[in-house]
Structures are given as structure tokens and as C-alpha cells.
Structure 1
Amino acid sequence: MKQVESLKTPAWWQRIELILAPIGYWERAFESHPEAFWAKGIDWGSPLMMFYTPQAAQQIIENRDKHLGIVSFPGELTAIFGNNSVATSEGDRHQILRKILMPPLHGKLVRDYGKLICDVTHQVMQQLPMNQPFLAWEVAQDITLQVLIEILFGSAQKERYQHLKNLIVSLLNLFAAKTTGFPLLRFFPKVLGKRNLGQKFLQTRQQIEQLIYAEIAERRTYLEPDKTDMLSLMMLFRDEQGQPLTDVEILDNLLLLLSTGNESTTAAICWSWYCVYRNPEIQEKLLQEIENSGDCSEPISLYRLPYLTAVCNETLRMYPITMFILPRGIKTPTEIGGYELQPGNIVSISNYLLHRQENLYPEPNKFKPERFIDRQFSAYEFMPFGGGIRSCIGDELALYLMNLILATIVFNYQFKLADNQSVKPQSRNAILAPVGLRLVKQDC
């Protein structure tokens, strides 16, 4: 068996490095440990071993039920979306929740939102002033949340939903300000109840709960069986014993999608803008493909454009939203990637490092969309949304949003980066975000 090694620096310093220079942390680990290492800087309560080869990824994904089990989320993450969501459930309950939540986020129902995505994008873009820098994060988040609220509640126009949108933005900003980044999450309870930020976080979370519970109570008086929004589907569900989901389960799953779904999709959209607008030749090639497609008004036609898809995939390869997938706990002694692991150990896959394996992606630090046209990558070579039965439930919606928003903007508007220097990826909650990215809308 291979010997397991750790980084030489102390765990406390690794945590600081993960906050202040996350890319440096991962690249330094990759240099000295080409397959796996003990990631002491990531505090998940037990020793965590990080893998990043396709072979190890396949073993972890395929052996989950036999040798691996769910591990408790840090309490600070559940401070936002509770303990009863699809992300924190296991076994039959996990399967039930996925079955309920999947339809509005996949297939025909997602494609039906194409016009909405394009319309919301136009609405937000047209409100931007000319020749003035704007924060990409705020604009992308505005688009994403409006679409998410439509999918979750069936409408984004109701005053209650607009209030909810503003509260979600405040909650996530407060959480980011208080925790600074994912590696410090375990310090969050020590400061949550102290100072104004912690108190405001709790108050904002309570306001969100009240709004959602009020919506649930109101829906019970006129619930329509043919509705396909997420809230209606959850309220209509009955298990084999005829039992519905509890209000707490409904609340937690809505909050999961409104928080992590919004943060991850917003980051993906911002990274796509950064990658395209710092590469004029890619922007021009993308514009030509859209112009030559023949029907720029049909969302599904835009979504299927090969170069557009390759640009979005290459964005997610270089800047996966999270730098590792949800960890799993070892239940019985097992071997992964030639390393022996024991019960009590935790394992994960660093998709960030997997996507930088040179044998898979030559010149991995270069943005080259053509690699996704020239080659088909397996599910264990390209993992922007995790894999297996616990992969990101909103992966199809996230890609649809990325593609349509990028195509709509490139075809209809003229933008440039406000600053020519490179954007430094930073931790925002559990997300790898282009903090500070600014663009400028110009006259066409």
C-alpha cells in the first residue's frame, strides 16, 4: 500500500491559506502530492484525505453505498439551510427528496424557462448605466435569484418574493462577511451570537423563515394539483404511507436551493464573463457562432451551440464552483487509489486538481474551449458538479443559465473588463468566487 502524506505546514496555517490564497494551497499540494494527501487544513471533524485522479474518483463514487457513508455537515452550513435538506439526508429519505426536487430542475421543465432566463437577462442588462463599472457578482446574482424564485414559487413578481430575494442576498453577504471563507466555518458558532453581524444574521434567517412559512400556509388554502413549481410539488407529495413532507423539510430544501444554488450558479456565470471578456478572440468566435446559428431568438437552439457549450465547460474546468465534492466517511476498511483507509477517515475528490491533470488537460492553466470539442471526457475526468447519486441536483439548470445568459449578453451587448489585471479567485462561503470582478457596459 502507498504511504499517506500530509502537507508540511501546520493545520492552522493551511486554514488561513485556504482563505487568503486558496489556489496557492491547492497548487502547492498538487506539486508535492500528485495523487492524494491528508488535507488537514479542511476541518470536517475527522482526518480528511483528498484524491484527484479519475481512478480514485471512480472508486469513491461507485463504492459510496458499500464502504462510504454521509458525514455530518459543519453546523455553520446548516445554519443557513437546516438539517432536513436533500444535501444532509441519507438513504431512502435522500432518494425521496431527490425524486421530488429533480423534475423542476431538469428536462422539459428547465427548458421551458429559457425565455424567462433571456427576458430577465435583458431586463437587468438594460438597467445598467453606460460606461460605468459594475460588480459582476451583484448583477449575476440578481438574474439568478429572479429565475430561481420563479422556479421555486411559480412567480417572481409577488411583493413577498421580492422581499425574500433581498433577504437571501443579505443573509449570504452576512454569512460571507462573518465566516470569511469555508475553512473558518468552524469558528462561526463562537462569534455568531456576538456583535451586530451575528445578531443580524439570526434576525435575517428568522425573517426568511416567516416569509416562507406564510407562503406555505397561504398555499394550503388553494393548492392546485397541476402546478409544477418546486413549492407546489413538495406540498403535494405523499409517501407510501400517505404522509406529506413537514413544513421544516420544505423550508430547508427551499433554503438550500436559494442559498447554495444561487451562490454556485452566480459564481459560474461570473467566471464565464471573466473568461470570455479577457479573451477577445474567444469572444469573437462565440459571437460568430451565435450569429451563424440562424435562430438567436430560440433559447434551446442557443443552449445546444457546441462552441458556447465548450466555453462554459472550460470555464467550469478551470474554475469549478467548489474545489472539492462533499466528503464521505469510511464505514469499513477499504482501499482507494492504492491507499488503505479505516473507519473514521473521511475522503473527498478535489475536482479543482482533477481538472489540472496534464495527461487529461494539456496546458491546464490555459483557457482552451476547443479541448471539449476535440475530446469527450468521462464522468470521472470532468466533475464540475460532483458525481453519482449525490451529484449537484441543479447541474442542468446551472448549465442552462450559464449558456443562455452568456449568449444573450455576447450577442446583444458590448462589455469589457473594467480592470485589465487578472482576477484572484477567493473563498466566499464554500464557493470559489471572482471577488471584485467588474465590467463596463459600452455603446454598441
Structure 2
Amino acid sequence: MKQVEGLKIPIWLQRIQYITNPVSYWESAYQTYPDAFWAKGIDFGSPLMVFYTPEAAQQIIENRHGHFTTTSFNSELRAIFGDSSFFTLEGMRHQQMRKLLIPMLHGKQIQSYGQLICDLVNNVMQTLPTHKSFSVLEVTQDISMQVMIKLLFGSYQQERYQQIKQLMIAMVSLFASNIAGIPLFFRFLQKDLGPASPWGNFLNQRQQMKELIYSEIAERRAHPNRERKDLLTLLMSATDEQGNFLTDEELLGQVLSLLFTGNESTAASIAWSWYRVYRDSEIQAKLLEELGSLGDSPDPLNVFRLPYLSAVCHETLRMYPVTMFMIPRLVKSTTEINGHQVDPGMLITVGTYIIHQREDIYPEPKVFKPERFLENRFSPYEFLPFGGGMRSCIGGEIALYQLKLALATVVSRYQLELANPRPINPQRRNTILTPIQLRMVKKER
């Protein structure tokens, strides 16, 4: 059996490095250990064994012999979403909730949102002044927030939904802060020392969010409207296999999960796609030519299916995956993964970011090359931007739909330029790689 080792620095220092510079953290591990390492800087209650070969990813994702199960969430995720979210549920209850939600977020259901997404992107872009730089991440966050709030509640303009949006911005920013957000990653610092303290501030914001969503649920229960097609209405009318409706607490958990997981990661992906397209005139020209072949008012579904647009978006997700590692699994019985023995009680995961950077799979991994997705078909164990298996991102399909339509709408209708030609390095916001410093300028078309 091969021996798995960990970085030779103190655990607390690993933790700080992971919070402040996750790319360096992952790349240091990969350069030192070729296929797996102990990630002691990521806090899931015990050390985490990270694998980053396609063979190991396949074993973990397929879980053919049932050696692994989902892990409990003693982390900031449970603090945000509570105990009833599909994100934090475990075992059979998690599977039941996924089965309930998946039809609402896939296939024809999300295809019906295509024109809505294009219109919202266009509305946000029209509000931007010309010849003045703007924060790309703030704009794409506004787009993704509007889309998700509209899909969840059926409206964006009402005062309650605007309050939800502002609380989302505040909570996401708190977790994203490398200084103020540190207590949210260390459980021994999670003390309520009043609203001025980071943890007390977070608890206060979460309570406000709960009250807003519970008020929305109460109003809908008092005045049901079966004509509404938003996700909350679908959730409130759905039943499990025993015919039971979701409780208010369960509805809250799903709404919070969809709000947060459907916003920050999608916004980052859209921002990265704009950055990559507008810093390469050849890629931009190819996209414009492909989009032009569909005419002036193309069907969003036809846009979604364009091969070069898809390749650009896939390459974006390769270089900047939605999550840098899959949600961990708990080992139930002794088995072997890619030559390494794992025993009951161990936590294991797949290092998505590292797999996407492997030169044996993606030659010149630091070079943005959409053509690689036209010339090759990568397996779901080589390209896994939304994870895989029983803990894959439930909103991956709608996130990809937003990414493609947002990029296509902007490229076909607006002329943007980078405010600064210098390369933008990824920075951590929560568990996501974002272009925080990216600024662009809207020019007259």
C-alpha cells in the first residue's frame, strides 16, 4: 500500500493558507505528492484525504460497493443552511430531497427560463454607463441574484425580495472576507459577542433572512395561487414518497441552499468567462461569428447548444471550477483507493481543481484553450466542475445554462474592454475562485 502524507507545516498555518491563498495550497500539495495527500488545513472535524487522479475519482464517485457515505457538516455550511437543507442532509433523507428537487432544476423546466435569463442580463448591462469602469464580479453577482430570486419567488422588484438580496450580499461578503470571515471557519471562534462581532453579525443576518422567508411562506399558505410557476411554489406543492408536504423548516433549508449555491459560484463563472473572452480577440471573433449564424433573435435553447460557446464555457469551468474539491465522503468499511488503504471513519474527497490542472489530461493547463473541448471528449472523472455522484451540484445544469446565455448575450450585444491588461489572479471567496480585482469598461457598440 502507498503511504499518504500531508504538508510539512503546522495545521493552523495550513488552515490560514487555505483560507487566504487556496490555489497555492492545492498546487503545493500536488507538486509534493503525485496522487493524494492529507489536507489537514480544511476543517471537516478530522483530517481530509484528497485524491486527484481520474481512477480515484471514479472509485469514489461510483461507490460501487457502498464503502462510502455522505459526511456530516460541522462547518459553516450547516451554519448557513441549517439541518434540513439538501446540502446538509445525509443518507436516505438526502437522497429523497434530491429526488424531489432535481426535476425542478433540470430539463424542460430550466429551458423555459432561457428568455428570462437573457432579458435580465440585458437589463443589468443597459444600466451600466459607457466609458466608465465597473467591477465585473459585482455585475455578475447582480445578474445571478436577479435570476435566482426571480426563479425562486417569481418576482424580483418587491421590497421583501430586495431585502433578501441585500442580506445575501452581506452574508456572502462576510464569509468571503479573509479577516472578518476567519471566525466563520474556526469553530472555537464562533462566539456570539454581540452584533458587532463577526459571528454575532452573521447570526443576526441569518435570523433576518429566516424571518423574511418564513413570512413569504406564511403568506403563500394563507393565499395559495396554483398558477404561479416559481420554484418556491413548486416546492410547497411537492410531496415525498409518503405524500407529505415539506415543513416550513425544510422549505427554508432548500430556499437558502438554492439562493447561496446558485448565486456566488455562477457569478464567478460568468465573470471568468467575460475575462477570458475579452482578453483574447480571436476567441471573441469566433464567438461572434458563431452567434451571428443564428440570426438577430435566436432561440435561447439554440444558443445553449452552440459548440464553440460550449467549449469556451467548459474551458472556463476547467480553469476555475465551481468548487475546488468535492463534498467529502465518510469511509464506512476498509477498502483501497488507487493503491491507498482507507479505513472506517476517514474522510475522503476528490480534488477537482488539481485534476483540472493535470498536464497528462490537459496539456498546457495554464493556457485557456477552448479547442481542447472540441477535439477531445473528457470523462466525468477528468472533467467534473460540478462534482459527481451522490453529492454533485444539484443546480449544475441551470448554472451552465446561465453561464452560456450570459456570455452569449453580452458578446453579441455589448463591446467591453478590460480596464487593466494585467493578468487577474484567482482569489478565494468562500470556497470559490473569483476574479475580485477584475474591472471592465463598456464601450459604445
Alpha-carbon displacement from aligned partner over 1:406-441 (angstroms, at most 9, x marks no partner) = 010011001111111111211111212112211111
- The verdict on how the C-alpha distance between 1:22 and 1:91 changes in structure 2, with shifts beyond 3 A counting, is closer
Partner SS for 1:293: coil
Measured after TM superposition, the shift of residue 397 of structure 1 is: 0.5
- Distance in 2, matches of 1:100 and 1:72, equals 21
- Distance in 1, matches of 2:405 and 2:21, equals 31
- Distance in 2, matches of 1:61 and 1:193, equals 41
Query: In the alignment, residue 425 of structure 1 is paired with which amino acid?
Result: P
Single out whichever of 197-206 and 174-183 deviates more from structure 2. Answer: 174-183
Measured after TM superposition, the shift of residue 175 of structure 1 is: 2.7
Query: In the alignment, residue 257 of structure 1 is paired with which amino acid?
Result: L
Match of residue 15 from structure 1? 15
Match of residue 413 from structure 1? 414
- Distance in 1, matches of 2:129 and 2:108, equals 35
- Distance in 1, matches of 2:400 and 2:300, equals 13
Alpha-carbon displacement from aligned partner over 1:157-196 (angstroms, at most 9, x marks no partner) = 3322122112211221123237666897124743553534
Single out whichever of 271-280 and 330-339 deviates more from structure 2. Answer: 271-280
Query: In the alignment, residue 69 of structure 1 is paired with which amino acid?
Result: T
Match of residue 86 from structure 1? 86
- The verdict on how the C-alpha distance between 1:127 and 1:389 changes in structure 2, with shifts beyond 3 A counting, is same
Which runs of structure 2 are paired with 1:3-82 in the superposition (5 Å)?
A: 3-63=3-63, 66-82=66-82
Match of residue 327 from structure 2? 326
Contact residue 324 and residue 348 of structure 1 kept, 8 A: yes
Contact residue 178 and residue 188 of structure 1 kept, 8 A: no
Contact residue 148 and residue 263 of structure 2 kept, 8 A: yes
Measured after TM superposition, the shift of residue 227 of structure 1 is: 4.0
Single out whichever of 432-441 and 323-332 deviates more from structure 2. Answer: 432-441
Aligned residues: 444
Query: In the alignment, residue 361 of structure 1 is paired with which amino acid?
Result: Y
Contact residue 331 and residue 344 of structure 1 kept, 8 A: yes
Measured after TM superposition, the shift of residue 281 of structure 1 is: 1.4
Measured after TM superposition, the shift of residue 352 of structure 1 is: 0.5
Contact residue 183 and residue 199 of structure 2 kept, 8 A: no
- The verdict on how the C-alpha distance between 1:382 and 1:240 changes in structure 2, with shifts beyond 3 A counting, is closer
Single out whichever of 409-418 and 170-179 deviates more from structure 2. Answer: 170-179
- TM-score if structure 1 supplies the norm length? 0.95
- The verdict on how the C-alpha distance between 1:188 and 1:286 changes in structure 2, with shifts beyond 3 A counting, is farther
Single out whichever of 42-51 and 402-411 deviates more from structure 2. Answer: 42-51
Measured after TM superposition, the shift of residue 100 of structure 1 is: 2.2
- Distance in 1, matches of 2:277 and 2:371, equals 14
Match of residue 126 from structure 1? 126
Partner SS for 1:69: strand
Query: In the alignment, residue 149 of structure 1 is paired with which amino acid?
Result: I
- Distance in 1, matches of 2:156 and 2:256, equals 16
Query: In the alignment, residue 331 of structure 2 is paired with which amino acid?
Result: I
Match of residue 212 from structure 2? 211
Partner SS for 1:102: helix
- Distance in 2, matches of 1:114 and 1:192, equals 43
What is the RMSD computed on CA atoms of the aligned residues? 1.9
Match of residue 380 from structure 2? 379
- Distance in 2, matches of 1:298 and 1:185, equals 44
Alpha-carbon displacement from aligned partner over 1:140-168 (angstroms, at most 9, x marks no partner) = 11111111112111222332212211221
Match of residue 231 from structure 2? 230
Match of residue 165 from structure 2? 165
Which runs of structure 2 are paired with 1:243-282 in the superposition (5 Å)?
A: 243-282=244-283
Alpha-carbon displacement from aligned partner over 1:326-363 (angstroms, at most 9, x marks no partner) = 01111111111110011121100011011112121111
Alpha-carbon displacement from aligned partner over 1:302-333 (angstroms, at most 9, x marks no partner) = 11110000000000001112210101111111
Q: Which runs of 5+ in 1 are unaligned?
A: none
Single out whichever of 394-403 and 23-32 deviates more from structure 2. Answer: 23-32
Single out whichever of 370-379 and 177-186 deviates more from structure 2. Answer: 177-186
- TM-score if structure 2 supplies the norm length? 0.95
Match of residue 150 from structure 1? 150
Instruction: Give aligned-pair identity as a percent.
Output: 54
Partner SS for 1:220: helix
- Distance in 1, matches of 2:180 and 2:384, equals 26
Measured after TM superposition, the shift of residue 13 of structure 1 is: 1.8
